[in-house]
Amino acid sequence: MSHDTLPRPTKTRQPTSLPTPAGRRRRHWTKRANPVAGLGSFLWLIIVIVPIYAMLSASLTSADKALTGNPLKPPTDPTLDNYNTVLTSGFGHLLSNTAIVAVSVVGIVLVLSIPLAYVAVRTRDRWSNAAFRLFLLGVAIPAQAVVVPLYLLIAKLNLYDTLLAVILPTAAFAMPVSVLVLVGTLRDVSEDLYEAMALDGASPLRVLFQLTIPLAKGGISTVVIYAALQAWNGFLFPLIFTQSDEPRVLTLGLFNYVSQFGVNIPALLASVVLSGIPIFAVYLVARRALVGGLMGVGGK
């Protein structure tokens, strides 16, 4: 978010009142090589890369060869058969269901959270404070703990085994963090801008659309990605609120592949790779927004 654009104290040259030893660079972190830290980060790199490499390599190995070889060895004659197996067993349906859930969740979260954050920042009366506090506490509500009563609610609403049964609770549980992120961003908008627009007689609605939303783009894109990730990765709600093939989403499909493909581990891994590709594509495009937005969470 804003951290990347803020002027860093490191970049301002210190006045002579604070002399620094000759030849010392201004940034402590690039000052000198730290071999221990470098070694540690290299070790972690291996821990991150080896499983990913093993997954890619195994997914390209034919099923009958897989059991004889070690997944760390590169495949001798790579094949796309496993990907074919997965793609022809209803993967597209899972993908489109998941996309519907993700888009709907993002839509609901934005429509509900933006006015909320706007009120929390601009209208500091008792009620908007209470609303904000509800979401502050809401961060701590584990989805696990409410899944049984939600099951009852979903059944009573006649939504069991539909995509809506996944969409609505997922959106609700993505709201607390979204509201916090948006409130954080909106607080950075200068009070003067609001006053200027208010003096011009702009209605709150116009202020929201012409000032708040354009200036909160960073926070909004963080929320979009966060909510989409929640929807994309959600497992518990689909597991418990759906049953048939029709509303099945990607994570649940993967879970079913475990029993469906049984010992065909290469096909299983191909399905994992395929499930990661869409989100990885988004990551490549929106890395700055994602990383920048999440980095602000622990600051201060």
Partner 1 sequence: MTAVVEKRPPGERPTTKAKASSIGRPHAAWALPGVLFFTFFAVVPMALAVYLSFTSWDGLGDPRPVGLDNWQKLLDDPRMTQSLWLTVVLTVASWAFQTVVALLLGVWAAGRQRNRAILSAIFFVPFLLSSTAIAILFYALLDPNFGIIQKDTLGSQSGAFLAIVFVGGWQFIPFHTLIYQGGARQIPEVLYQAAAIDGAGPYRQFFSITLPQLRHTITTSTVLMVVGSLTYFETVLILTKGGPGTDTAILPYLMYEAGFKTYDFGYASAIASFLVIAATGLSLVLVRLTGFGSMRSTREGM
Footprint of partner 1 on 88-107 (CB under 8 A) = none
Rounded least distance, CB 288 to partner 1, Å: 11
Query: Residue 24, interface with partner 1 (CB under 8 A)?
Result: yes
Rounded least distance, CB 80 to partner 1, Å: 18
Query: Residue 39, interface with partner 1 (CB under 8 A)?
Result: no
The residues in 44-73 that bind partner 1, with binding defined as CB under 8 A, are 44-45, 47-52, 54-55, 58, 66-67, 70-72
Size of the site for partner 1 (CB under 8 A): 127
Closer Cβ to partner 1, 69 or 93, answer by number: 69
Tokens coding 215: 């200036």
Rounded least distance, CB 123 to partner 1, Å: 5
- Which one of residues 94, 101, 105, 150 is an interface residue with partner 1 (CB under 8 A)? 150
Interacting stretch for partner 1, rule CB under 8 A, among 82-90, 99-107, 124-132?
124-132
- Which one of residues 29, 77, 244, 285 is an interface residue with partner 1 (CB under 8 A)? 29
Please write down the HEC assignment for all residues of the chain. Answer: CHHHCCCCHHHCCCCCCCCCCCCCCCCHHHCCCCHHHHHHHHHHHHHHHHHHHHHHHHHCCCHHHHCCCCCCCCCCCCCCHHHHHHHHHHHHHHHHHHHHHHHHHHHHHHHHHHHHHHHHHHCCCHHHHHHHHHHHHHCCCCHHHHHHHHHHHHHHCCCCCCHHHHHHHHHHHHHHHHHHHHHHHHCCCCHHHHHHHHHCCCCHHHHHHHHHHHHCHHHHHHHHHHHHHHHHHCCHHHHHHCCCCCCCCHHHHHHHHHHHCCCCHHHHHHHHHHHHHHHHHHHHHHHHHHHHHHHHHHCC
Interacting stretch for partner 1, rule CB under 8 A, among 74-82, 85-93, 99-107, 177-185?
177-185
Query: Residue 255, interface with partner 1 (CB under 8 A)?
Result: yes
Interacting stretch for partner 1, rule CB under 8 A, among 79-87, 88-96, 99-107, 291-299?
291-299
Rounded least distance, CB 88 to partner 1, Å: 19
Tokens coding 123: 């209208």
Query: Residue 13, interface with partner 1 (CB under 8 A)?
Result: no
Task: Say how far apart CA 119 and CA 182 lie, in whole Å.
Answer: 11
The residues in 208-247 that bind partner 1, with binding defined as CB under 8 A, are 208, 232-233, 235-236, 240
Interacting stretch for partner 1, rule CB under 8 A, among 74-82, 86-94, 99-107, 111-119?
111-119
